[in-house]
Amino acid sequence: MKQTAPTSLHVAFAALGLAFLAIFSWVLFHEGVADWRTTQARFRRIEATVKNPHQLAAAASVGGLRQIWLPELDRVDRCGTCHLGIDDPSFAGAPQPFSSHPGTWLTTHPIDRFGCTPCHDGQGQATDYLNAAHQPQPFVTRPMRPLETIEANCGACHRAIDAPDAPRLDEGRALIVQSGCFSCHDIPGFDGLTFHGPALDSLGSKVRPEWLPGWLKNPKGYLERSKMGNFRLSNDEITVLQAFLLSQRAIPPLEGMTVDWKKADTANGRALFGELRCVSCHAVNGRGGTMGPELTRIGDKVRRDWLFSFLKDPHRVQPETAMLQYRLTDVQLRDLTAFLLEEYRSGDTGPEPPPVTYQDARAVMAGRGIFERRGCTSCHRLGAMKNTGRIGPSLAGIGDRNPDELAFGRGNVRRTADNYIFLKVLHPDALLQTSMMPTFDFAPIEAARIALALASIRKADLPVSYVRNRPMPPPFTPAGHFGELVTRYRCLSCHSVGGFGGTLSTVPLDRIGSQLKHDYISKYLLNPGAVRVSVEARMPFFHMLPDEATTIADYMTSVLLDDTLDRYDATFSEADVQRGQDLYTQLGCVGCHQLGTVGGYVGPVLSDVGDRLRPGWIAAWLANPERYKPGTLQPDYGLSAADARALTAYLSSLVDGGRPKSAEQGGRQ
C-alpha cells in the first residue's frame, strides 16, 4: 500500500462521481430527445400556421403521449402521439406526420372506436417511427401495410363479398367466387357458396372424342375464359382419363327419336340464334355475355345429337345448368343445332363421330383413380361417385400465417405471407416441386387481387360488434305453376328476388308487380322488345305460351309487390299533366329518353311509359333513383312533391307512341 494511494482514490472518486453525473445526464437526455417529443415540438411550431385548428389539436399541443385503448380488440394505438392533426380537417395538407387523414375514412370509422392498426397494421404501441414499423422491422409480425394492399385489412371486418370502398378487395373476392376456389379449399367467408362445372354423367355422348385430350391438356387452349384450371396432366394420365370420361354415357341424347339432318336449314338457325338472344349469355368471337360458355368453337367440341337434345330440354340433359328451356319445335331445334355446329368451328370437323364403343376396363379404372385423386368431383358431379370434398388445404387464418412456417423453397423471393399466397396463386408449382393445385393462368394483377382477398382471412376472431357479415339471401323457390315456369325459363339465372338469384339483369323482381302493369308484363314476356336500345343483354325471346305469360303476370302483380308504391294516389288533374309536360321540357328529359321519334338513347324509351309503369313507381323512382338502382345514370333532380307528382301525372298519361291520353284514363290501370 503506497502513501499516495489516498490521493489516487480521491481522483478515482472524483472521476467516478463526475462520470456518474455525466452518464445520468445522458439518461435524461436520452429520454428528452425521444422521437415523439421532438415531433410534438415540431408540431407546436407549425400549429400556429394552421388556420382555425380545432380544440382537439389544441389539446394535443399540451404534449404528452396520446393513445387509443381498445380492450375489445386487444390493441393500444399511440400513433396519435405524432399524427397530431389526423382527426382534424383543418390540418389537411399539413406536412407529415401532422396531416389530417385523407378521405372520409375517419367519419365512417371513428378513431376512438377503430384506432389505427386494425386498418394499417404496424406496432401501435410504439412511439417512434422505426418501432411503429412504418417499414418492416425485425420481430414485428405485421408491419404497416402499404396502401397497395391495405384493403386486405378491410376484409377482416367486412366479411361481405362486396366490401364498400375497397375495389381491390372486391375484385379479389369476385375472382375467388368466379374461380370457385372454395370448391377445393375451405375459405371462411365463402361458406355456403357453390361452384359447379357441368355434370359429366353423359360426357361420352356429349363431346367428340378427339376434342377431349386437348381440353384436358390445356382448357384455355379451347376456351380462353375457361374456369377449369390446367392440371398439368401427363399424356398417359390424359389417355386413361379420357377413357374413363368417354365411358360415361348415362343419358342417351335423342331417346329414340331421329332427326333428318339433311333437311337442316342453317339460315333459319341463324335467324333463331339472333331472335333467341343467345348472345346475352353466350359470347361468339369474343362478343356477348359471359354467363354461358363461349360458342365460338362449339363445333369442335360437341356432338350433334347431344346439342339437339340439350337445346330441346337442357334440364333433362344437364339438370344444374343455368340455361333456360325455349319452347321450340323440333325443326327449329334442328336448324339451330346445325347452324351452331357449322358456323362456329375452327375448320372442317368431319362427319359426326360414331358412338364410343371401346371399353378398356383397366384404362377406365386408372382414369377413375386420377379423377378422384385430382379432386375433379369437387366441381363435377358424376353419377354415383362421391364428392371427395375439399381436397386442398384449408385457408382459414391464412392471412396470419407466419412466413417462417411457409415453404418458400430455396428460391430468392420476398419471404412474406402475402408474397407466398401471391406466388402460389400465380404458379401453384412455383415454390414446391409438386403441387396438386391446377394452374389457372391468372394474370399477375388478378393473382395479386386474389392474394389480397385471401390475406384478409385472419386467425384471430374479432368481436361481433366489429364484424360485418355477408347476409345470406333467402332462397326464392316459388311453388305451383309459376314455380315450374321460373325453373323452366331459369328466370333466376339473370334476375334476383330478395338478393337471391343472378345479377345479369339490372331489374330485381322484388317489387316488379308494383312497378309494371299486368298487361304489359304478359305482353312483354311473349315478345320482349327492346325497352332500352343501348343495353346489350336483353330478355331472350322465350317462345312462351300466352297462358304461361299470364300466369307469370298474375303471380307478379299479386305477390311481388311493394306497399309503399301501391299506396300512391294516382288520380291526376289535367293541370298536373300540363305542368308535368312543362317540367319534362325544362329538365331536359329528352336528352336521354326517346319520346315518339325524338330523344336520346341513354335511358329507356318513354313513348308508352304510361302503359308500362305504375304511377306509384314512377313517382318513387323520380324522387330517389339512387335508392332503387345504385349507380344509375338517372339524375336526382330533388323535385318538390308537387313537381314530382306533376311529372308522374304527365308520364302516366303517355301511352301508345307518346301521345298523352286524358288524365282520367292515365290515373287508372
Partner 1 sequence: MTEKRDGAGDERPESPDLQRRTIFTLGCVGLGAATLGFGGATVRYLVPNVLYEPSRRFPIGNASDFPAGSTTFLPERRLFVFNGPDGLFCISSICTHLGCNVRHAGAGFECPCHGSRYDENGRVISGPAPKALAWYAITLSPRDQLIVDLDHVVGPEFRLRA
Partner 2 sequence: MKPPLAHRAAEWLSSAGRSVFRIGWPQTDKDRAAAMISSFFLHIHPARVSRHVLRPTYTFALGLISAILFGILSITGLALMLYYVPYPPEAYRSMKDLQFVVTFGMVLRNMHRWSAHAMVVIVFLHMCRVFWTGSYKPPREFNWVVGVLLFLLTLGLSFTGYLLPWDQLAFWAITVGTNIAAYAPVVGDQVKFLLLGGHMIGPMTLLRFYVLHCVILPAAMLMLISLHVWRVRKDGLSGALAQTGAVEEVAGVFPPSSKTYGLMSLSRRPRASVESRDPNDEVFAWPHLLYRELLVALAVLVVLHALSLIFMAPLEEIADPTRTPNPAKAPWYFLGLQELVHYSALIGGVIVPTLLVVALLALPYVDRGPAGAGRWFAPERRMSNTVFTLIAAVLVVLTVTGTLFRGPNWAWVWPWR
**In angstroms, rounded to a whole number, what is the distance separating the alpha carbons of residues 62 and 44?**
9
Considering the complex, state which of residue 275 and residue 400 has its C-beta at the smaller distance from partner 2: 400
* CB of 51 vs partner 1, minimal distance in Å: 13
Q: Are strands 594-595 and 500-501 parallel, antiparallel or unpaired?
A: unpaired
Considering the complex, state which of residue 30 and residue 567 has its C-beta at the smaller distance from partner 2: 30
φ, ψ (nearest 5 deg) of residue 74: 55, 50
Contact present, 219 and 487 (Cβ < 8 Å):
no
Considering the complex, state which of residue 66 and residue 511 has its C-beta at the smaller distance from partner 1: 66
Q: Residue 97, preceding bond cis, omega within 30 degrees?
A: yes
Burial of 147 (0-12, 13-18, 19+ CB in 10 A): exposed
Region from 65-73, 338-346, 454-462, 645-653 binding partner 1, contact rule CB under 8 A: 65-73
- Per CB under 8 A, the list member of 74, 260, 348, 563 interacting with partner 2 is 74
Asked if 65 interacts with partner 2 (CB under 8 A), we say: yes
**In angstroms, rounded to a whole number, what is the distance separating the alpha carbons of residues 207 and 224?**
18
Considering the complex, state which of residue 79 and residue 336 has its C-beta at the smaller distance from partner 1: 79
Asked if 41 interacts with partner 1 (CB under 8 A), we say: no
Asked if 9 interacts with partner 2 (CB under 8 A), we say: yes
Number of residues that bind partner 1 (CB under 8 A): 39
Considering the complex, state which of residue 12 and residue 92 has its C-beta at the smaller distance from partner 2: 12
Asked if 407 interacts with partner 2 (CB under 8 A), we say: no
Q: Report what 107 binds from partner 1, partner 2, none; CB cut-off 5-8 Å by kind.
A: partner 1
Q: Report what 404 binds from partner 1, partner 2, none; CB cut-off 5-8 Å by kind.
A: partner 2
- Greatest CA span in the chain, whole angstroms? 132
Burial of 271 (0-12, 13-18, 19+ CB in 10 A): middle
Task: At 608, list the grid cell.
Answer: 308508352
Q: Which residues share a beta bridge with 230?
A: 439
Contact present, 179 and 440 (Cβ < 8 Å):
yes
Which residues neighbour 511 within 8 Å (Cβ) at sequence distance 6 or greater?
A: 560, 561, 562, 565, 617
* CB of 437 vs partner 2, minimal distance in Å: 24
Contact present, 454 and 399 (Cβ < 8 Å):
yes
- Per CB under 8 A, the list member of 15, 33, 533, 559 interacting with partner 1 is 15
Q: Report what 443 binds from partner 1, partner 2, none; CB cut-off 5-8 Å by kind.
A: none
Task: At 102, list the grid cell.
Answer: 385523407
Q: Report what 126 binds from partner 2, partner 1, none; CB cut-off 5-8 Å by kind.
A: partner 2
State the binding string over 122-161 for partner 2 (x if CB under 8 A, else -): -x-xxxx--x-------xxx--------------------
Which residues neighbour 60 within 8 Å (Cβ) at sequence distance 6 or greater?
A: 40, 43, 66, 80, 84
φ, ψ (nearest 5 deg) of residue 8: -65, -30
Vertex 639 angle, CA 635 and 645, to 5°? 115
Asked if 23 interacts with partner 2 (CB under 8 A), we say: yes
SS3 (DSSP) at 180: coil
* CB of 636 vs partner 1, minimal distance in Å: 24
Considering the complex, state which of residue 90 and residue 349 has its C-beta at the smaller distance from partner 1: 90
Residues that bind partner 1 (CB under 8 A): 1, 3, 5-7, 10-11, 13-22, 24-25, 27-28, 54-56, 59, 64-65, 67, 69, 76, 78, 87-90, 106-107, 110, 112
Residues at the site binding partner 2, with contacts judged by CB under 8 A: 1, 9, 12-13, 16-17, 19-20, 23-24, 26-27, 30-31, 65, 67, 74, 76, 78, 123, 125-128, 131, 139-141, 402, 404-405
